[in-house]
Structure 1
Amino acid sequence: MSSSNRVCIRSDAIPAPRFRYSPCVQIGPVVQVSGMVALDAATGQLATGGPGAETALILANLQKALPDYDVTLDDLLIARIFTTRFDAFADINAAWEAVFTAATTPPARTTVGVSALPLGATVEIEFSFVQS
């Protein structure tokens, strides 16, 4: 597949990237969303309240961008969660389960403990979708 099939997608519903990268790239039916930290769309500031609050805002921001990315949560193949606060995994998981309820089929998921994240965040999540 040539690079001419690669499309960078932006969404005005979420904060613009602070660094040079594509927030979302599509090649064929695969839609890859770069790692997201919990930036408030109105202020551009990192959310306060710890890992659970950050996770909730990341998932809310993702849901706002989904129409622009032309995917739904049902198209979500895997999410990769990175956290500096593995001791707060229960809070991260509670925010996750508020979105992916028992009535839905959740995507595959990986969670990795790391020593640091951009902008002092405690959680960063990247998402891989396959359009149906």
Structure 2
Amino acid sequence: MSTSTESSIRTAMQSPHIPAPRFRYSPCVRIGFNYQVSGMVALDPASGKLETGGPGAETTRILSNLQLALPDYGLSLDELLIARIYTTRMDAFSEINAAWETIFNDGLVPPARTSVGVSALPLGASVEIEFSFVKSSVSV
């Protein structure tokens, strides 16, 4: 079950199935039909440590963590509008794509996607992904 904090029009949501934020931010924010999931790095839910194994393994962990949290947010991958991928390893982008394609295969329409090369990411990660969702209806 997720926990949420509401302000006037914005609801902050959390999932007990993924590591809690280490800094002050909301893992997911809902405004109306729009949901924004904060950038996720590849933290293991059990240990809270960064996944090892490079960009492919990190991407797999991020997508796995997203799937763990989605039921708590009341979302599904079918409602994913866009993903923004940040990586310090554009030279290994094929590993990121391979992990991505295990989830977004022929059976699921992939979202729009932006990929950006950066010089550094939080906690020494090589991949961070943020996600934007839109629901067709909102239940409160």
Alignment TM-score, normalising by the size of structure 1: 0.97
Q: Tell me the residue number matched to 2:22.
A: 18
Q: What is the distance in 1 between the residues matched to 2:27 and 2:37?
A: 6
In structure 1, which of residues 99, 113, 119 is the aligned counterpart of residue 103 of structure 2?
99
Q: Tell me the residue number matched to 2:65.
A: 61
Give the fraction of aligned pairs with identical amino acids, expressed as a percent: 72
1:39-65 deviations in Å (ceiling 9; x for gaps)? 000000000000000000000000000
In structure 2, which of residues 86, 110, 114 is the aligned counterpart of residue 110 of structure 1?
114
Which amino acid in the other structure matches residue 37 of structure 1?
Answer: V
Q: What is the distance in 1 between the residues matched to 2:124 and 2:69?
A: 23
Q: What is the distance in 2 between the residues matched to 1:68 and 1:31?
A: 12
Alignment of 1:71-90 (within 5 A): 71-90=75-94
Count of paired positions: 130
Structure 2, gaps ≥5 residues long: 1-6
Q: What is the distance in 2 between the residues matched to 1:88 and 1:52?
A: 8
Q: Tell me the residue number matched to 2:12.
A: 8
Q: What is the distance in 1 between the residues matched to 2:63 and 2:81?
A: 15
SS at match of 1:55: helix
- 1:67, CA displacement in angstroms? 0.5
Q: Tell me the residue number matched to 1:123.
A: 127
Structure 1, gaps ≥5 residues long: none
Moved over 6 A (4+): none
- 1:104, CA displacement in angstroms? 1.3
Q: What is the distance in 2 between the residues matched to 1:131 and 1:57?
A: 24
